[in-house]
Amino acid sequence: MRALIQRVTKAHVTVDGSCVGECGAGALILVCAMPDDTPVTVENLAGKIAKLRIFKDANGKMNLSMLQSGGQALVVSQFTLAADTARGNRPGFSGAAKPDVAERLYLQFVDALRTLGIETQTGQFGADMAVDLTNDGPVTIWLDTAD
């Protein structure tokens, strides 16, 4: 599973002009399920992100996790994180999990964050979404469970 985590002061996602999910201070998490991902992969990634110390403490240092800081999460499925750009100029996306599998893993990821105690909202799986965010820092972290 791949994730791009952006520390934000706020973020929201709209579908057809209507807001479907939003968060305040916390993280916008773009996730992509890969073919070999399992529920264990999902749980491990959610735990890693929840404990990732990318939030400022009282001294302005990145020492706090989302759990410690009380940050919220907005999770958006993004199959384009599986882009293969090795050949030509048009990316290929065959490395992403098939939509039915990807949706199940995406929803398990969201549930795993909620179970850990993180207030979490989502985009709409498979929809054409517009994501608006205010990146804080900016802090942007790439995670790939295959690494």
pLDDT in tens, 58-80: 999 999 999 999 999 999 999 99
Count Cα atoms within 13 angstroms, Cβ side, for 5.
Answer: 24
Residue 79 annotated among the catalytic residues of the structure: yes
Burial of 129 (0-12, 13-18, 19+ CB in 10 A): middle
What pLDDT is recorded for position 147?
85
Task: List the catalytic residue out of 80, 115, 134, 140.
Answer: 80
Q: Which of 78, 120, 121, 122 is catalytic?
A: 78
Single pTM value for the model: 0.96
Active site annotation includes 80: yes
Examine the residue annotation and report whether 6 is marked as an active-site residue of this protein: no
**Which residues of the chain register pLDDT less than 50?**
none
What domains does the chain contain, in order, with CATH numbers? 2-137 (3.50.80.10)
Label residue 147 exposed, middle or buried (CB < 10 Å: 0-12, 13-18, 19+): exposed
Q: What is the pLDDT of residue 71?
A: 97
CB 120 within 8 A of CB 112: no
Q: Which of 79, 109, 121, 122 is catalytic?
A: 79
